[in-house]
Amino acid sequence: MRIGVFYDGTWFAHVSEYFATAHPQGSPIALEGLHDALRWRAHTSSGQPLADCQVSEAHYVRGRRAAPSPAFDAVLANAGVLRHDLELYHGREKGVDVYLALEAWDRATNAPLDQVVLITGDADFVPLVRRLTGRGIAVLVPVVDTHPGALAADRAQLRTAPLLQSTASDAPSWHELFAPCETVGYPLRSPWLGGAPGQRWRGTVTGWRPGQTHGFITDTEGGSWYVSREDIPRGFDALPLNARVSFAGSPIPSPGRDYPRAHSIRFG
């Protein structure tokens, strides 16, 4: 089974950051581990040998920023993901859904592919899904299943259009997709990056300009971390420079980000 994975880059960045900062898992998604989880689901649902279920290609579409992250470009390359950059118009993305849909249709029909995985939640992809399934090409759309304590903003931002879910051949939640990866004897790579959940880091506040809503922390190993005002202790509008802090987070930047994000900040 030939599987093609097609990422709406901005959507995936939101999903991965949600798992890293707002979900109990506390870790971004690892691309290689995600691809392995998709292979495993194809293997178990179709009954085909695991070796025959392969992610044969993957594509990532997003507006290109003026200062792209070489580190994330390397992450994509190492996972075998081809990046497609679109120009930003007045700082905003335009045409990503059209480009991604055309790329998915072209590769699915010409490669050809047996299954298309769409990493998006946009109802604009419903016509594509209908055309693909009409040609006998299965379509999988992972759905974010926000935990009960998730903020309303997270639920709204990560909402998958109900019509997209119902039109897809398979629409598992991310939890359902990754659940086999947590079982004893799972033979493939983990879908999670970083250290164990609950791990805390120590560092020093090295950047926070007056009036800004974010700053930077340098950990004890010299790594830089982004920190937002919403993640600092209650009652503070900023972190004082040179303050010693501890924090949680994965040292691997979320997809589309230049720095890892620190959260659950504590002084001392």
Tell me the helices (H) and strands (E) count for the chain, helix number first.
8, 10
Rounded Cα–Cα distance for residues 248 and 250 (Å):
7
Domain boundary among 182, 217, 248: 182
Pair (16, 87) in one structural domain: yes
Domain count, the chain: 2
**Within a domain: 120:** yes
Task: Assess whether 160 and 208 both reside in one domain.
Answer: no
Burial 122-136 (b: 16+ CB within 10 A, else e): beebbebbebbeeee
Q: What is the pTM of this model?
A: 0.73
Residue 163 sits in the same domain as residue 106: yes
Measure the CA–CA gap between 60 and 5, rounded to whole angstroms. Answer: 8
Residues 230 and 146 in one domain: no
Judge whether residue 180 has pLDDT over 80. yes
Residue the block writes with tokens 């579409």: 61
Look-up of token digits 């999988």: 140
Q: Looking at the chain, how many residues does it have?
A: 268
pLDDT in tens, 36-54: 999 999 999 999 999 999 9
Range of the domain at 233: 200-267
Query: Order of strands across the sheet with 2-8?
Result: 81-86, 54-63, 2-8, 115-119, 138-140
Residues with Cβ within 8 Å of residue 162, at least 6 apart in sequence: none
Provide φ and ψ at 208, rounded to 5°. Answer: -165, 100
Phi-psi region of 29 (alpha: psi -120 to 50; beta: other; left: phi over 0): beta
pLDDT higher than 60, residue 234: yes
Instruction: Specify whether the CB–CB gap between 18 and 12 falls below 8 A.
Output: no
> Is residue 217 located within the same domain as residue 108?
no
pLDDT, one tens digit per residue, over 76-118 is 888 999 999 887 775 677 788 999 999 999 999 999 999 999 9
160 and 206 fall within a common domain: no
